[in-house]
Chain A
Amino acid sequence: MDILKLANVSKIYGSVKALYEATMSVAEGEWLAIMGPSGSGKTTMMNIIGCMDRPTSGNVLLDGMDISNLSASELTHIRRDKIGLIFQQFHLISYLTALENVMVAQYYHSMTDEHEAMQALARVGLEDRAKHLPRQLSGGEQQRVCIARALINYPKLILADEPTGNLDEANEGIVIDVFKRLHGEGSSIIVVTHDPEVAEVADRTIFLEHGRISKIVLNR
């Protein structure tokens, strides 16, 4: 079964066709990479898939539900149940510790559970950094906190927009290893990247150009 289906999805800003007539699907458990030059519509697509924006036209089926015409608050509910988000700039809350940053996602989702949040940090190898504030962590560590936060509510689909864009090679390797493990455990993952090496490890790569899907490459 497909976790995600886009049918003729477009996002038009005035005269800019940020995304145009995109049609594709992602199978459950699949790892998809999205590549394309700057301004080609990658983030636009992620925002629509992640229930943070609505398409101008076309249909989006997420986990079997049509989300193309939902209200902002309905999207909020679906987003917190089904989507785990990882950002290039990490977006940790500066005044909360690593552990608390993970718990914030629990808080907005349902109930905080310190023990579980600690386990999530342990999964990304950061249990000994739980009490540290973001500024006391390296970029790679911050990104791993961000991943732990994205995973804490067992999302159906993990979306990562250039998760390694701000990391050096060593940290990039660590993050990719985490993704590999998640993939192995059966998670569905969509990663936007400029880095061919990051795209290579995905099952499939979609290329965007001027808002259109120009090419789909099967990596294995």
Chain B
Amino acid sequence: MTNRRMYFKMIASSILRRKSRMTVALLAVAIGATVLLGLSAISYDIPRQMGREFRNYGANMIFVPADDNAKLEILAAKRAAEAIPADSLIGMTPYRYETARINMRGYDIVGVDFGQARKTSPFWRIEGKYPEAENEVLLGADIADFTQLAPGAEVNMTGLAADGSRYRSDMKISGIVRTGGVEDGFIFLRLDDLERLAGNPGTADIVELSAAAGADQLNALVSRIAGDVQGITPKLVRRVTHSETTALSKLRALILLVSAVVLALTMICVATTMMTVVMERRREIGLKKALGADNGGIAMEFIGEGILLGAGGGALGSVLGYFMSEAVSVNVFGRSVTMPWYFPVLAILASVAVTAIACLPPVRRATQVEPALVLRGE
């Protein structure tokens, strides 16, 4: 057996044959590595996943009438939208707002092209179905809760048409929309239904557009359309991109903080465990010194044990961390997590580094042990 083998034999046996104490430290390191790898994998993957979610989040530009009291010509809006390259225009939805009485109560009703709305507002959660046939409506969730109306129910709708006459129609509730936003307070129907009942076809109050473009491109588009097209004011919907970046940076800061706290706790746990181990093994240290070990040799042994502990705990934690991030990803985003191959390696290296650093104070203590104590029989 060479000296190197003897060295590994000693540090390995010291861990393996003294399980209970080392198990605590090993678990601490493993938990630290789990959280570290899990969180960094999630924070690495989240921008991609969230980016996709947010891109689905819908409209990032709206057209409103230049004159507050006027209506928008849908045809004009379509022409204005030609400024956007066809392959990056995901959807374009005109909205027309009116008021109507339904079962004798007044509500805001919205005429909409549902085919386009699905593209510009993919976050709508529908209970039942989107309106397909004539005279079907989609009820905002707040109204549904209040009126206790459910999909399939028939209602009576009356309102004032553009020419001053009253219209009246029986409508069927095809579904209920729930967004947590203003949509919950509206009743939606097909734009062509609304036009047939209320007249004044081809107009809207607002047009929502969803374009696959970066912030710079969107800005350029907005100023181009504003310059070129009369009667329409294009605006960027900042809410989405803005909240995307703030949400992400807040999430990342949180993850960084949690990781730092967990690593600090791991370090403290390893340091106290190793300190206890050193105190328990003072006789052994004294003996080794009496047999001729110098301070460097003693230090190398404890650091070696620490590194072994760090590597073992780190490897265990990497496996657990992978499953943790996978579970989170599948539950939150419905997709498998992807992480670069070197993440687990880094997690193990970080565990080794943290453990080695945590071992320094105990190692210092170990080198201070006097060999004379072995004869004193303390």
> Contact residues of A with B, CB < 8 Å?
43, 46-47, 50, 52-53, 73, 76-77, 79-81, 85, 87-89, 91, 93-96, 100, 103-105, 107-109, 111-112, 114, 133, 149, 161
Total chain B interface residues with beta-carbon distance under 8 A: 32
Query: Can you name 17 A-B pairs with beta carbons within 8 Å?
Result: A43-B375, A50-B290, A52-B370, A53-B372, A76-B292, A85-B374, A87-B374, A87-B377, A94-B284, A100-B9, A100-B10, A104-B288, A105-B291, A107-B3, A111-B2, A112-B5, A114-B1
Residue on A nearest B16 in the bound complex, by CB: A95
A69 and B24 alpha carbons, distance in the complex (Å): 44
A76: which of B7, B16, B289 is its contact (CB, 8 Å)? B289
Residues of chain B within 8 A of A50, CB atoms compared: 290, 375
Cβ of A109 and Cβ of B292 under 8 Å apart? yes
Q: Which residue of B lies closest to A42 (CB)?
A: B375
CB–CB A47/B372 < 8 A: yes
From A80, A91, A96, B374 is in contact (CB under 8 Å) with A91
Query: Within 8 Å CB of B17, what residues of A?
Result: 94-95, 133
In the A-B complex, the 5 residue pairs with the smallest Cβ-Cβ separation, listed nearest first, are A80-B292, A95-B17, A108-B292, A52-B372, A52-B371
**Residues from 223 to 272 in B contacting A, C-beta threshold 8 Å:** none
Given A76-B289, A95-B18, CB of A88 within 8 Å of CB of B377: yes
Shortest Cβ distance from A49 into chain B, in angstroms?
11
Report the minimal beta-carbon distance from A121 to chain B, rounded to whole angstroms: 15
With an 8 A cutoff between CB atoms, is B287 at the interface?
yes
- Taking CB atoms, residues of chain B closer than 8 Å to A107 are 3, 6-7, 10
B13 within 8 A of A: yes
Cβ–Cβ contact B290 & A79, under 8 A: yes
The distance in angstroms between the C-alpha atoms of A19 and B5, with both chains bound, is 43
Contact, CB under 8 Å: A85 / B288: no
Residues in chain A near residue B294, CB distance under 8 A: 73, 76-77
Interface assignment of B283: CB less than 8 Å from any CB of chain A: yes
Bound CA span A52–B9, Å: 27
Is B297 interfacial (CB-CB < 8 Å)?
A: yes
A-facing mask of B278-322, CB < 8 A → 1, else 0?
000001100111111111010000000000000000000000000
Contacts of B14 in A (CB 8 A): 95
CB closest chain-A residue, reference B5: A112
Told that A53-B370, A76-B294, A104-B10 touch, could you supply 11 new A-B pairs with CB distance under 8 A?
A: A76-B289, A79-B290, A81-B292, A85-B291, A87-B374, A93-B284, A95-B18, A104-B288, A105-B292, A149-B291, A161-B375
Task: Tell whether, in the assembled complex, residue A108 and residue B293 are in contact, meaning their CB atoms are under 8 Å apart.
Answer: yes
- The one of B16, B297, B370, B377 in contact with A89, judged by C-beta atoms closer than 8 angstroms, is B377
Contact A46/B375 with A95-B17, A95-B18 known, Cβ cut-off 8 Å: yes
Once the chains are docked, how many angstroms separate the CA of A76 from the CA of B290? 8
**Quick one: closest B residue to A48, CB to CB?**
B372
Q: Which residues of B contact A100 (CB under 8 A)?
A: 6, 9-10, 13
Bound-complex Cα distance A111 to B370 (A): 24
Q: Using known A-B contacts A43-B376, A76-B292, A79-B292, determine if residue A93 contacts B287 with beta carbons closer than 8 Å.
A: yes
* Residues on A with beta carbons closer than 8 Å to the beta carbon of B18: 94-95
The interface residues of chain B lying within 8 Å CB-to-CB of A104 are 6, 10, 288, 291
Contact with A along B1-44 (1 / 0, CB 8 A): 11101110110011011100000000000000000000000000
Instruction: Decide if A73 touches B295 in the complex (CB within 8 Å).
Output: yes
- Give the complex CA separation of A96 and B9 in angstroms: 9
